[in-house]
């Protein structure tokens, strides 16, 4: 299994914090944001990782992370020349993935679950990870029939369930052929929800539930709440360790 972390985009929801840097290089309490998605992959047993970033920030990622050895990973880099969607960014990692399975993690997607069991048990198809939310209107929302997801609706005005599709996905090697068949959405991007719905139509999308906290740190409020969440976990761990 290979890992892909997406760090492209312009970070417009966090402007002017992102005027001079990429959003996932911003601090989240005591670490740069990018450390968290890397740690999620490494904990899951995925240590060969590529970061897809915008060209103007590529040097900053290399300066911060280097080869990834200090984080228990082996990290490579590739550039997304312009933001054309999550699925487009994933397609840039095709040569790196080289027919293997791939775990895709969005750079502002902060979670702490140990997903190694899902990685070991993954065979083919695709997998999304769900988390119960109070308001799904800003997320992709699964629509269920019984226990089966029949479609995912992107930012629905009337969510059909109380779950959000988080920014973590696992795909088999067929994902890149699917991306080649995709067409841009109305906003000119290759949407990850459209890709997931392709797997649903084939009957090959599975799902799991995140048990621990999860946060999207891509907005001012999300960044603030994520920092509070991380601080709470950090201080609890310090108390348990007796320091």
Query: What is the Cα–Cα distance from 130 to 132, expressed in whole angstroms?
Result: 7
Q: In which domain, by residue range, is 178 found?
A: 2-129+166-241
Q: How far apart are the two ends of the chain, measured CA to CA in Å?
A: 37
139: in domain: no
Amino acid 237: pLDDT:
78
Residue with the two structure tokens 């990850």: 192
8: in domain: yes
Amino acid 137: pLDDT:
93
Give me the number of domains the chain comprises.
Answer: 1
137: in domain: no
Amino acid 10: pLDDT:
74
**Contact call for residues 108 and 167 (beta carbons, < 8 A):** yes
Amino acid 213: pLDDT:
94
Amino acid 243: pLDDT:
56
Amino acid 242: pLDDT:
62
Burial of 138 (0-12, 13-18, 19+ CB in 10 A): middle
pLDDT tens string 203-228: 999 999 999 999 999 999 999 999 99
Structure tokens at 109: 């997607």
185: in domain: yes
58: in domain: yes
223: in domain: yes
Which residues of the chain fall below pLDDT 70?
Answer: 241-243
CATH number at residue 25: 3.90.550.10
97: in domain: yes
């Amino acid at each position: 299994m290979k890992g892909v972390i997406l760090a492209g985009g312009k970070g417009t929801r966090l402007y002017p914090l992102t005027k001079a840097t990429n959003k996932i290089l911003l601090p989240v309490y005591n670490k740069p944001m990018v450390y968290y998605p890397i740690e999620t992959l490494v904990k899951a047993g995925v240590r060969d990782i590529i970061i897809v970033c915008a060209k103007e920030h590529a040097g900053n990622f290399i300066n911060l992370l280097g080869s990834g050895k200090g984080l228990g990973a082996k990290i490579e880099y590739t550039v997304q020349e312009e933001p054309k969607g999550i699925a487009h960014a994933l397609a840039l990692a095709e040569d790196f993935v080289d027919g293997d399975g791939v775990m895709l993690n969005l750079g502002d997607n902060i979670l702490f679950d140990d997903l190694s069991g899902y990685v070991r048990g993954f065979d083919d198809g695709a997998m999304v990870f769900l988390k119960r939310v109070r308001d799904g209107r800003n997320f992709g929302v699964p629509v269920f029939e019984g226990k089966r997801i029949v479609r995912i609706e992107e930012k629905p005005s009337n969510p059909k369930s109380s779950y959000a599709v988080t920014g973590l996905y696992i795909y088999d090697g067929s994902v890149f052929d699917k991306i080649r068949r995709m067409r841009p959405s109305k906003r000119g991007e290759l949407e990850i929800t459209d890709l997931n719905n392709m797997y649903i139509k084939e009957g090959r999308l599975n799902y799991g539930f995140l048990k621990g906290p999860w946060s999207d740190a891509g907005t001012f409020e999300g960044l603030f709440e994520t920092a509070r969440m991380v601080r709470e976990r950090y201080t609890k761990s310090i108390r348990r360790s007796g320091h």
